Structure 1
Amino acid sequence: MKTKVTAVFDIGRTNKKFFLFDSEFQEVHREYERFDEITDEDGYPTENLAAIENWAKEVFDKTLEVSEYEISALNFSCYGASLVHIDENGKPVTPLYNYMKPIKDEIYDSFYTKYGPENEISRATGSPKLGMLNTGMHIYWLKYAKPEVFKKIKYSLHLPQYLSYLFTGIPVSEYTSIGCHTLLWDYEKKDYHSWVYEEGIEKKLPPITSSRETTPVSYKGKTIQVGAGIHDSSSALLPYIRSISKPFLLVSTGTWSISINPFNIGMLTSKDVENDSLFNMRIDGNPVKVSRLFLGNEYKLQVKVLSKHFNVLEDYHKNVKFDQDTFFEINKDFVHMFKWSSISSDDMPADTKIPYTKFEHAYHQLMLELVLLQEKSIRAAIGNQKIERLYIDGGFSDNEIYIQLLSQYLGNMKLSTTDASLGSALGAAIVISDITLEPKFLKKNYALKKHRTVILN
Structure 2
Amino acid sequence: MKQKVTAVFDIGKTNKKFFLFDKKFKEVHKEYISFEEIEDEDGHPTENLPALKKWLKKVFDRILEKKEFNVEAINFSTYGASFVHIDENGKPLTPLYNYTKPLPSNIVDSFFKKYGPKEEFLKTTGCVDLSMLNSGLQLYWLKYSQPEVFSKIKYSLHLPQYLSYVFTGIPLSEYTSIGCHTALWDFGKKDYHDWVYKEGIDKILPPIVSTETSVNMNYNGNRIKIGVGIHDSSAALLPYVRSIKKKFVLVSTGTWSIVFNPFAGDQILDDAFKNDTLNYMRINGRPVRAARIFLGNEYKLQVEKLNKHFGVNDEYHQTVSFDYDTYLEIMKDFKYCFKWESITDDNMPEKTAFYFDKYEHAYHQMMTELVLLQIKCIKEALGSDEIKRIYVDGGFSNNDIYIKLLSHNFNDKKLSTTDASLGSALGAAISISDKKLNSKFLKQNYALKKHVPFIVNG
TM-score range for the pair, normalised by the shorter chain length: over 0.9
> Where do 1:16-415 residues align within 5 Å?
16-268=16-268, 272-415=272-415
**Structure 1 residue 268: deviation in Å?**
3.0
**Structure 1 residue 271: deviation in Å?**
6.3
Supply the AA of the counterpart residue of 1:223. Answer: R
What is the CA deviation profile of residues 235-279 of structure 1, one whole-angstrom value per residue up to 9, with x for unaligned ones? 110100110000001000010000010111324358653331000
Structure 1 distance, partners of 2:382, 2:92, is: 41
CA contact 1:291–1:377 (8 Å) conserved in 2: yes
CA contact 2:251–2:257 (8 Å) conserved in 1: yes
Runs of 5+ in structure 1 lacking a partner?
none
Structure 1 distance, partners of 2:127, 2:267, is: 12
| Count of residues in Structure 1 that have an aligned counterpart in Structure 2 | 457
2:38 is the counterpart of 1:11: no
SS of 1:84's partner is: strand
SS of 1:18's partner is: strand
**Structure 1 residue 56: deviation in Å?**
0.2
* 2:441 alignment counterpart: 441
* 1:426 alignment counterpart: 426
TM norm structure 2 = 0.99
CA contact 2:298–2:341 (8 Å) conserved in 1: yes
Supply the AA of the counterpart residue of 1:418. Answer: T
1:130–1:394 CA distance, 2 compared to 1 (3 A): farther
1:270–1:147 CA distance, 2 compared to 1 (3 A): farther
Structure 2 distance, partners of 1:5, 1:407, is: 38
SS of 1:336's partner is: coil
CA contact 1:124–1:268 (8 Å) conserved in 2: no
**Structure 1 residue 145: deviation in Å?**
1.1
Structure 2 distance, partners of 1:135, 1:431, is: 23
CA contact 2:108–2:130 (8 Å) conserved in 1: no
Supply the AA of the counterpart residue of 2:252. Answer: S
**Structure 1 residue 124: deviation in Å?**
0.7
SS of 1:450's partner is: strand
SS of 1:131's partner is: coil
**Structure 1 residue 433: deviation in Å?**
0.8
1:272–1:305 CA distance, 2 compared to 1 (3 A): farther
What is the CA deviation profile of residues 327-350 of structure 1, one whole-angstrom value per residue up to 9, with x for unaligned ones? 011110000011110001011111
Supply the AA of the counterpart residue of 1:47. Answer: E
Structure 2 distance, partners of 1:68, 1:10, is: 22
What is the CA deviation profile of residues 103-126 of structure 1, one whole-angstrom value per residue up to 9, with x for unaligned ones? 111001000000001111111111
**Structure 1 residue 438: deviation in Å?**
1.6
Structure 2 distance, partners of 1:361, 1:161, is: 49
What is the CA deviation profile of residues 391-437 of structure 1, one whole-angstrom value per residue up to 9, with x for unaligned ones? 00000000000001111111111000000000100011111111101
Structure 2 distance, partners of 1:221, 1:259, is: 43
CA contact 1:7–1:429 (8 Å) conserved in 2: yes
SS of 2:268's partner is: coil
Structure 1 distance, partners of 2:186, 2:455, is: 44
CA contact 2:73–2:224 (8 Å) conserved in 1: yes
CA contact 2:291–2:378 (8 Å) conserved in 1: yes
What is the CA deviation profile of residues 271-302 of structure 1, one whole-angstrom value per residue up to 9, with x for unaligned ones? 65333100000001000000001000001111
Supply the AA of the counterpart residue of 2:398. Answer: D
What is the CA deviation profile of residues 184-208 of structure 1, one whole-angstrom value per residue up to 9, with x for unaligned ones? 0001111000000000000010100
CA contact 1:123–1:267 (8 Å) conserved in 2: no
Supply the AA of the counterpart residue of 2:161. Answer: Q
Supply the AA of the counterpart residue of 2:395. Answer: G
CA contact 2:265–2:288 (8 Å) conserved in 1: no
RMSD: 1.0
TM norm structure 1 = 0.99
**Structure 1 residue 314: deviation in Å?**
2.1
SS of 2:369's partner is: helix
Identical aligned pairs, as a percentage? 64
Structure 2 distance, partners of 1:392, 1:137, is: 32
Supply the AA of the counterpart residue of 1:148. Answer: E
Structure 2 distance, partners of 1:270, 1:351, is: 37
**Structure 1 residue 315: deviation in Å?**
1.6
CA contact 1:119–1:270 (8 Å) conserved in 2: no
What is the CA deviation profile of residues 217-237 of structure 1, one whole-angstrom value per residue up to 9, with x for unaligned ones? 111111111010000000110
CA contact 2:290–2:381 (8 Å) conserved in 1: yes
CA contact 1:120–1:270 (8 Å) conserved in 2: no
Structure 2 distance, partners of 1:275, 1:372, is: 18
Structure 2 distance, partners of 1:433, 1:243, is: 14
Supply the AA of the counterpart residue of 1:142. Answer: L
**Structure 1 residue 43: deviation in Å?**
0.7
Structure 2 distance, partners of 1:259, 1:371, is: 13
SS of 1:264's partner is: coil
SS of 2:273's partner is: helix
Structure 2 distance, partners of 1:12, 1:222, is: 28
Structure 1 distance, partners of 2:55, 2:226, is: 18
Structure 2 distance, partners of 1:81, 1:296, is: 21
CA contact 2:247–2:387 (8 Å) conserved in 1: yes
Supply the AA of the counterpart residue of 2:345. Answer: S
CA contact 2:265–2:286 (8 Å) conserved in 1: no
* 1:450 alignment counterpart: 450
